[in-house]
Amino acid sequence: MTVEIIKENSIPLRGEFTPPGDKSISHRAVILGSLIEGVTTVRGFLSCDDTLSSAKAMMMLGVPIEIEGDRVRIKGKGLFGLSEPEDTIDAGNSGTTARLVSGLLSAQNFFSSITGDKYLRARPMERIVKPLTLMGARIWGRDGGKRLPLAIQGNKLSAIQYRLPVASAQVKSALLLAGLYADGETEIIEPTPTRDHTERMLSYFGADFEKNGTSVKIKSQKLFKGGEIQVPADISSAAFFIVAALINPNSEVLIKNVGLNPHRTGILEILKQMGGNIEILNERELNGEPVGDILARSSTLNSAEIKGDIIPRAIDELPVIAAAGCFAEGETVIKDAKELRVKETDRIKAMTTELRKLGAEIEELDDGMIIKGKEVLKGAKCSSWGDHRIAMALAVAGTRAQGITEIEDAECVSVSFPGFFDVMKRLRGR
């Protein structure tokens, strides 16, 4: 699939929409909902390739799950009701599925195996295999356990205290799931706080755990109580349209029901620092998660230095922040973001390579990028590198490019935002 974005004298984006449900919360809803005795209903579920990988994984473990659009009905089996899968679990392109489900499988009394597509099989798995092995898990994998596929023989786990070498919500969540079964109290210490959707959902379901600063402690559990989960819209999906509205003159976009988890709002802080005209309206809470509407208007952006503790709070949005930097006055610097190199693809190399094709002045750093802003870019033929966030970030940059911008392999946006290009066309009056 090749998508064309045609530049016609900077077409403004105007209107309102609600992005798809939050991907991170949707994953956790189907995984944790499967561990509850009784029925859990999830509304606002993001039905996309990644989250469906998690749902299919839990179904392979014997959990009845019915999916109708954005509504999911889960007949939970309880913490100890999962069954041995008949085949290898395929996590597709989803690192969240692979890591969280591996943490869960490590504590079961059966054998299982898990793999993924060619992109996921290249991503690092040692970061979960090492601590899970310390807890007593028996895991084998390609490249000495560093890569998928993984073979997991469930085992009786023991609690550990583990200090994460790299800030990672996926690794933290995998260990929390294993900690639900481990003897004793498992403590996970982060180098810097990461998104806490797992902790919030555990709390909502009545789990017993303790959080203090960058430390989370969890004991083995006996029973969760079920309930209904309302998934807020994904701020990572909203980010592309926030930036598109900011960089295109005469634009005004209202993005509704967006999750405003403080560990995910780094994108808003960065864009406001750059001079973005952004307002938060109608703030409220949904099952433990803060939610609000975001109003973004066209703005004159300034450059910024983006580094340090804010990086984990904006890690998924850095590709579109790089796109914003192309139109900011001065030199935007992104540092301390080496984690971008081990996402769905090497996002540092991908963004620098593709934005250069559009005429951007951008320099690749070992841990980030330096972007010199300019008025407009020039349309070109680009590649998504098979990465949904690269495809959408290039589409945003393409709205301020003269001529035609083509993005190859753009169907990968279905990983997190099916219908992304339809929303873009509608807001641009196309």
Can you tell me the mean pLDDT for 46-62? 96
Is 2-21+232-427's fold the same as 23-230's? yes
Give the per-residue SS3 of the chain.
Answer: CEEEEEECCCCCCEEEECCCECHHHHHHHHHHHCCCEEEEEEECCCCCHHHHHHHHHHHHCCCCEEEECCEEEEEEECCCCCCCCCCCEECCCCHHHHHHHHHHHCCCCCEEEEECCCCHHHCCCHHHHHHHHHCCCEEEEHHHHCEEEEEEECCCCECCEEECCCCCHHHHHHHHHHHCCCECEEEEECCCCCCCHHHHHHHHCCCCEEEECCEEEEECCCCCCCCEEECCECHHHHHHHHHHHHHCCCCEEEEEEEECCCCCCHHHHHHHHCCCEEEEEEEEEECCEEEEEEEEECCCCECCEECHHHCCCCHHHHHHHHHHHCCCECEEEECCCHHHHHCCCCHHHHHHHHHHHCCCEEEEECCEEEEECCCCEECCEEECCCCHHHHHHHHHHHCCEEEEEEEECHHHHHHCCCCHHHHHHHHCCC
Can you tell me the mean pLDDT for 165-170? 93
The residue among 430 and 369 whose pLDDT is bigger is 369
pLDDT at 18 over 90: yes
What pLDDT score was predicted for residue 226? 76
pLDDT at 307 over 80: yes
What pLDDT score was predicted for residue 415? 86
Range 2-21+232-427 has CATH code 3.30.70.60: no
pLDDT at 103 over 90: yes
What pLDDT score was predicted for residue 224? 80
What pLDDT score was predicted for residue 134? 98
Confidence of residue 287 (pLDDT cuts 50, 70, 90): confident
Confidence of residue 9 (pLDDT cuts 50, 70, 90): low
Show which residues are catalytic.
Answer: 316
Domain boundaries, the chain: 2-21+232-427, 23-230
- 243-275 pLDDT per residue, tens: 999 999 999 999 999 999 999 999 999 999 999
Classified by CATH at the fold level, domain 23-230 comes out as: UDP-n-acetylglucosamine1-carboxyvinyl-transferase; Chain (3.65.10)
